[in-house]
Amino acid sequence: RRDVLRDLGTRTGVDDVRALAAVIIQAEKFGSSIGAALRVQSDGMRLKRRQLAEERAAKTAVKIMIPLVLFIFPGVFVVLVGPAGIQIAKLTQSSRWPCDLKRVPRFADQSACAVAQGSFDSLKLVSGGW
């Protein structure tokens, strides 16, 4: 019976089957409970499987960084920085200040533009002539 279990472990080539055969042989040899030995063996196999799954998950997190950086980050960057880039491009192409007093609809924005341009006369016109 021992030879058959030992041959089973070597024929399959699977480490877990080989360890299971060794546990059964030892339990039979020393006269201990095979059920308890199988419980210990199954707990060890579950722990090993869980550790292997955690290791694979850790490797997957590293592997997913490459597509994230190559494909997702540029899209998010364009969406977030694109409008500001367009505004900056428009500012650098035109020689005028971005606040054109005739186009700004609200009083607060007009006065802020006048102050930013340094035009005191425009500020007087916008505020009602002091």
User: Cα(10)–Cα(22) distance, rounded to whole angstroms?
Assistant: 11
Confidence of residue 118 (pLDDT cuts 50, 70, 90): low
pTM metric for this prediction: 0.48
Q: DSSP per residue over 59-118, as a string? A: HHHHHTHHHIIIIIHHHHHHHHHHHHHHHHHHHHH-SS-S--TTT--SHHHHHHHHHHHT
Question: Residue ranges per domain, the chain?
Answer: 2-63, 97-130
> Is the predicted pLDDT of residue 33 greater than 80, yes or no?
yes
Report the pLDDT value the prediction gives residue 59, as an integer from 0 to 100.
92
